[in-house]
Amino acid sequence: MARGAVALSAALVLCGCGTYSNYPAGMNQTVLGPMGAGGDLHAVQADLASRMEGRDEVLFAQEAGRTAQLYGDYAASRTAFEKAIARTAAQGDEGVFAAKVAAQQAAAVLVNDKAIEYRAPEYEQALVHHYQALNYLGARDLDGAGVEIRRANRVQEEARKRHEAEIDKASAKSRKEDAAADPLADAPDSTRAAVAKAYAGLDEVAGRTKTSFQNAATFFLSSVVWEMRGERNDAYIDVKKALELAPAHPGLQASALRLGKRLGMREDVEELVRRFPGAAATPPDGDGAYDGKARLVVMLEEGHVAQKQSLGIPFPVSGGLGAIDIPFYSATASPASNWRVGLDVAGRPEGSLAPLCRVSSLAARALSERMPGILARQIARAIAKGVAVQAANKNGGDAAVILVSLWNIASEQADLRSWLTLPDTILSADAWVAPGAAVPIRLRWAGGGNLELPVTLEAGKTTLLYVTRADWSFYSHAFVQP
Amino acid sequence: MKKTILLPAAALAAALFVSGCASTIEYGDPTSAKPLSTDFGSSDLQQIATSMVDSMLATAPLPADGRRPVLIVDPVKNKTMQHIDTESITDSIRTRLIRSGRFTFQDRTTEASLQQELAYQQQAAANPVQFGQQVAAEYMLTANLSEIEQKFGRVTDVYYKFTLNLRNLRTGTLDWADEKEIRKTKVRPIF
């Protein structure tokens, strides 16, 4: 009886009752709410920065870096992101079976997955470098931005390699039909069905784009930075990578042709002209058509990234009640095609913004990749808790069984942690326009609403206008090529 | 009695605890080649500056009449995945070349201060240095530092390549070039 009470109070402590441990509801209230309503991000950022330690260090460093950048404190944002980058690198250097990791895994088996240190999935790592590159652009440091862009590309390249290796492995495995690898092999049918249903929804969110492990926005930003540095060849390679992921993007098609023609990539250009006849007439870079003009690049972030939800499934254990609680992404989030935004420069229409990538798809994909591990731990946990119920039954009678069952259910919480200040979708547009100081740039939403911003455009140089819309708030940053 | 046994034991434990936690500080050899990580470090910087300058002094086709040609050093271009203070590499190379006594230098990095000083002299000095008196550089030294990283399982292989080019400004020709490679390997531990 006494043991049961201790277990229950321990469960309540470990489940955590603070605002942030009640993820993601706490984040919605304390961070995303003010972010969308034009609230005081300074205070929010300071609060997040104070949490950059312990097992959630990477997570809160990412959130703090992002919020500081939104309100324009590039230095604070850089410091926070540096912390996330350093910790992520240290995690990568830890031993394969390091004692610390093993202890966290063991704790996770006893309580829940939130006991494990937060490790940023690859799409988050790439976006950390993406935003860090913006911090360097804000400081007019093209060298620093170049370093971050190279790092982002390295993460994305590793993701691709790993993905290819996994496909090879999975096809080899499916040939063998290895039933023993199924972590739910011994679970009751009702549990298997519920998990399979949640899992199917996850694949639907992830599957809308086959490009769910690489993001075209970072490759595009990369090409913009390379062009600012005068490195056309690098820019061309990254534009082509972005185009592979977002082939319908007119701005990417035109950039690929503009650079390809200039670099004399004859075979590539023929192929591009065949695939994208609409952009075939794009003059090569350095052509007289661009003389005296400035390049305006608009990147727009829309909405909030999807949040993980938890799915509790009763899991009968011998003589008592248990539960497993798994994270999943709901498939109902709005698709990227809903965002239709027109661009006017100095009162003249310059086409519209086209989607580059959907961050929510990347998130769903990352979760589905981690799902086998999550399920394996869930089952181990259900068994461990079943043992506790049996022991209570034997030693403490009915009251103890009820208490232990309560602890089993109370402590069972899905790990819903993810970087939540990210946008849902990133769009972009490209225009070659007359230079000037305080040129009015207007974004027009098809569903109503305008945003007008004055931007400096210099002949022969690029201005990157980076706009983030979160509910009713806009955050904008203009980076003029140094 | 119990107390008298416990007390020294506690004191000993405390002593061990205190001495165990104190960090130690000592002087190190700036040219020590012991790598601490695969990042670009101070010993790599030393190695590069030394070997490149030695190679240039030994093999670059410089005037044979003993004249000291005027050189400008362009900042090293960082093409790596690390935020490296390339100004520091540039400084090390320039300092070593100056020590060799075979060149005269123009320094573009302090150009703004120089212009300010000259402008001040025109207004306030009794015998100001006239504009247009400066000696033109004959050679320009440019450099690139690039990095290739590869991972195979637990092994990370990092390859740095440093290229130094000497360009003759009168003829426009590339008179000399050399490169230095550094390779570092890291193995992720099992435990």
Task: Please report the domains of chain B, with CATH numbers, ordered by start residue.
Answer: 37-108+137-191 (3.40.50.10610)
- Split at pLDDT 50, 70, 90, the class of A23 is confident
Query: Touching check for B157 and chain A: CB below 8 Å?
Result: no
Partners of A480 in the β-ladder = A463
Q: Per-residue pLDDT for A402 more than 50?
A: yes
> Rounded to an integer, what distance in angstroms lies between the CA atom of residue A193 and that of residue A182?
14
Q: Per-residue pLDDT for A260 more than 90?
A: yes
Taking Cα atoms as reference points, which of A317, A320, A311, A330 lies closest to residue A375? A311
- Split at pLDDT 50, 70, 90, the class of B7 is very low
Q: Do B186 and A93 touch (CB under 8 A)?
A: yes
Å from A146 to nearest chain B CA?
Answer: 8
Q: Per-residue pLDDT for A187 more than 90?
A: no
Read off the pLDDT of each residue in B108-120 and give the average, rounded to a whole number: 86
Contacts of B36 in chain A (CB under 8 A): none
Lowest mean pLDDT across A120-124, A142-146, A243-247, B6-10: B6-10
- For residue B158, give both structure tokens: 């990092």
Burial of B169 (0-12, 13-18, 19+ CB in 10 A): middle
CATH of the domain at A372: 1.25.40.10
Query: Quick one: how far is CA A68 from the chain centroid?
Result: 17
CA-nearest residue to A96 within chain B is B190
* pLDDT score for A18: 45
- State the residue range of the domain holding A206: 2-480
Give which of A81, A91, A94, A96 to mutate to test B binding, by max B Cβ within 10 Å: A96
Query: Touching check for B152 and chain A: CB below 8 Å?
Result: no
- Split at pLDDT 50, 70, 90, the class of A133 is very high
What's at B12, amino acid-wise?
Answer: L
* pLDDT score for A8: 39
Give which of B76, B83, B187, B190 to mutate to test A binding, by max A Cβ within 10 Å: B83
Query: Quick one: how far is CA A172 from the chain centroid?
Result: 30
Quick: pLDDT tens for B8-59.
444 444 444 444 456 677 776 766 667 778 888 878 888 888 898 999 989 8
Quick: pLDDT tens for A316-335.
666 666 677 888 887 655 55
Taking Cα atoms as reference points, which of A97, A103, A104, A132 lies closest to residue A118? A104
Q: Per-residue pLDDT for A147 more than 60?
A: yes
Q: Do A147 and B82 touch (CB under 8 A)?
A: yes
- 0.95 surpassed by pTM: no
Q: Per-residue pLDDT for A100 more than 90?
A: no
What's at B90, amino acid-wise?
Answer: T
CA-nearest residue to B38 within chain A is A93
> In the predicted model, what is the mean pLDDT of chain B?
82
* pLDDT score for A4: 41
Residue bearing the bigger pLDDT, A137 or B76: A137
Read off the pLDDT of each residue in B51-79 and give the average, rounded to a whole number: 87
Structural Rg of chain B based on CA atoms: 26
Taking Cα atoms as reference points, which of A367, A4, A121 lies closest to residue A12? A4
Contacts of B149 in chain A (CB under 8 A): 154
- For residue A318, give both structure tokens: 């011998």
Lowest mean pLDDT across A13-22, A260-269, A440-449: A13-22
Q: Do A147 and B186 touch (CB under 8 A)?
A: no
Q: Per-residue pLDDT for A14 more than 70?
A: no
Q: Do B191 and A95 touch (CB under 8 A)?
A: yes
> In the predicted model, what is the mean pLDDT of chain A?
82
Percent of chain B with pLDDT over 90: 24
Of A92, A97, A158, the CB nearest to B191: A97
| DSSP conformation letters of A141-205 | -HHHHHHHHHHHHHHHHHHHHHHHHHHHHHHHHHHHT-GGG-TTTTS-HHHHHHHHHHHHHHHHH
> Rounded to an integer, what distance in angstroms lies between the CA atom of residue A406 and that of residue A6?
12
Contacts of A147 in chain B (CB under 8 A): 78, 80-83
> Rounded to an integer, what distance in angstroms lies between the CA atom of residue A449 and that of residue A341?
10
The number of folded domains in chain A is 1
CA-nearest residue to A91 within chain B is B188
CA separation, residue A207 to residues A160, A202, A327, A332, B170 (Å): 16, 8, 17, 13, 61
- For residue A42, give both structure tokens: 């300074």
